[in-house]
Structure 1
């Protein structure tokens, strides 16, 4: 079986998946709450305010931060988000360490970074400045395409903007001097999320969650007529559908919007299942099929 990173590299090599310019700016998304965290999530997406609704929540010991990984979709590799708890002394650098290592809870997620991590992060009033670990990151590693480099940059930008709570540009440095990341421009911004993010992303339940009775599922999506179907499958992501329904998001088309729904599992036998959220696909699969996010869950 090929690794997620191998599949991502193969898909990204297709010319049709070339991404938009790094300096483009887009709207942000909101989520009801971070999975397993204590942050209070915004329920509306700011338009033009430059402030993402994905706060990094801090306690004396830990901070809950958004970390962006890369996963497969029928339309090519895209960004998926997990909320993670990290030590609060330097949450931005800790979030980047998770991102570059590909240390995702969801086994379907991976990273495009070659290993290692950034050396430093400074979040200022109008700029985020990151330090490269060494000169090797100024050019793309062997085998990394320009499309891969651009998506890797978007992993970093979205993660840092989520921690900072502002859509600030990111300046790349090496030993304090301006530098390029993987051969790209030394200052990068966020591409529109509709172009680089998966169009459905589950926030709750988190990967490996235990549920019972009726639980609340939530996330973000941009799905036809704001309809976000969900299913529970027995026997893995390709298993038999044993329950299904749909959530209605707050909007669609121009960006990702929050969705939330109650899921009743009281009639299911205790055991391991997969919770699946999808984009609605009125084409019947002619467009490549729906985008999907899955989470392994245990029903008590």
Structure 2
């Protein structure tokens, strides 16, 4: 049995058992991957037409730039999952620019990274399928040190990003330098890759606002997406010393089947000027007996 055939058998078995992380034109394994997210710029190793995760959308900021969703990866109690940041990229070729940013691992949040090799994406076209030319032929093979589960999550990093930018749920196919459809990381799909189940792919808690290093005055508008027990989002604000100075909860629009938006306004007018951390987490009904809550943090300043 060849390595490629063996990988296909392993992945097919994994998909049948775990619900389809590859998303091969359908909507994983919760074990932590053998290798983790990479920040290419700091170290060598380390939701479509409507987005189920909430408020994706490419809103034009100017004639030259547009704001798009870019998916990075981070660690959660369920293993490596996808986190979303809204980023400004060039309006011309925004999908390729967003994928190049995802591959760079250059997230604003220092807790996020990437599973993708470094590479620059060119023009992306779409009709019934979204066609993504790979940066080079090395992307067709499983990179050294990348686990098979990481390969599936890396593919989803691309799928969620490009579908979010284009606001289309069309299946994603990959082409080589000659424009021929090809596999990616040793995984082939004739029909293309669709977004995988968000509950098994996305971090169950993700903060959209405040953004990392945002300056806030008077009222902090906190928002994000999540899937938390009974839609309860637990939040707190910590000072530079790690002490909690404010805490509370918010209610998301739903839970269980996908990630739902949540938001809350917090009075910070009584806080001294300085740096603080906003912490949002899922509720933990197990009382610490389970894997624990999924947490996302954003550092911000009060001026």
After superposition, the Cα gap between the structure-2 partners of 1:285 and 1:19, relative to the gap in structure 1 and judged at 3 Å, is farther
Correspondence for 1:216 among 210, 217, 221: 221
In structure 2, the residue matched to 1:20 is 21
In structure 2, the residue matched to 1:68 is 71
Correspondence for 1:54 among 53, 56, 64: 56
After superposition, the Cα gap between the structure-2 partners of 1:25 and 1:243, relative to the gap in structure 1 and judged at 3 Å, is farther
Question: For the Cα contact (< 8 Å) 2:276–2:300, is it kept in 1?
Answer: yes
CA distance in 2, matches of 1:224, 1:91: 36
Please list every run of 5 or more consecutive structure 2 residues that lacks an aligned counterpart in the other structure: 1-13, 28-46
CA distance in 1, matches of 2:20, 2:77: 16
Once the 2 structures are TM-superposed, how far is the Cα of residue 227 of structure 1 from its aligned partner? Answer: 0.6
CA distance in 2, matches of 1:19, 1:241: 40
Correspondence for 1:180 among 179, 183, 196: 183
Once the 2 structures are TM-superposed, how far is the Cα of residue 24 of structure 1 from its aligned partner? Answer: 5.5
1:122-180: CA deviations, max 9, x gaps? 132x2110001221110111111110000000000000010111211001110200101
Once the 2 structures are TM-superposed, how far is the Cα of residue 283 of structure 1 from its aligned partner? Answer: 0.7
In structure 1, the residue matched to 2:8 is none
1:249-298: CA deviations, max 9, x gaps? 00000000010101111221111110011000011122111001100100
CA distance in 1, matches of 2:79, 2:273: 35
Question: For the Cα contact (< 8 Å) 2:24–2:194, is it kept in 1?
Answer: yes
Question: For the Cα contact (< 8 Å) 2:21–2:156, is it kept in 1?
Answer: no
In structure 1, the residue matched to 2:288 is 285
Equivalent pairs, count: 262
CA distance in 2, matches of 1:50, 1:90: 18
After superposition, the Cα gap between the structure-2 partners of 1:128 and 1:226, relative to the gap in structure 1 and judged at 3 Å, is same
Question: For the Cα contact (< 8 Å) 2:234–2:282, is it kept in 1?
Answer: yes
CA distance in 2, matches of 1:194, 1:25: 14
In structure 1, the residue matched to 2:231 is 226
Give the secondary structure class of the aligned counterpart of 2:199. helix
Q: Please, what is the CA RMSD of the aligned residues?
A: 2.0
In structure 1, the residue matched to 2:6 is none
Question: For the Cα contact (< 8 Å) 1:120–1:132, is it kept in 2?
Answer: no
In structure 2, the residue matched to 1:159 is 161
My pick for the range that moved more, 148-157 or 111-120, is 111-120
TM-score, normalization by structure 1: 0.83
CA distance in 1, matches of 2:206, 2:49: 21
Once the 2 structures are TM-superposed, how far is the Cα of residue 120 of structure 1 from its aligned partner? Answer: 3.3
CA distance in 2, matches of 1:280, 1:17: 24
1:222-262: CA deviations, max 9, x gaps? 001001011101136xx211110111000000000010101
CA distance in 1, matches of 2:278, 2:161: 25
In structure 1, the residue matched to 2:244 is 241
CA distance in 2, matches of 1:51, 1:25: 17
Give the secondary structure class of the aligned counterpart of 1:162. helix
TM-score, normalization by structure 2: 0.82
Question: For the Cα contact (< 8 Å) 1:69–1:102, is it kept in 2?
Answer: yes
Once the 2 structures are TM-superposed, how far is the Cα of residue 191 of structure 1 from its aligned partner? Answer: 0.2
1:180-222: CA deviations, max 9, x gaps? 1101124211101111000111111101001121121111010
Once the 2 structures are TM-superposed, how far is the Cα of residue 118 of structure 1 from its aligned partner? Answer: 2.6
Q: Map 1:99-110; keep pairs closer than 5 Å.
A: 99-110=102-113
Question: For the Cα contact (< 8 Å) 2:121–2:135, is it kept in 1?
Answer: yes
Give the secondary structure class of the aligned counterpart of 1:100. helix
Question: For the Cα contact (< 8 Å) 2:236–2:244, is it kept in 1?
Answer: yes
CA distance in 1, matches of 2:94, 2:57: 12
Once the 2 structures are TM-superposed, how far is the Cα of residue 75 of structure 1 from its aligned partner? Answer: 1.4
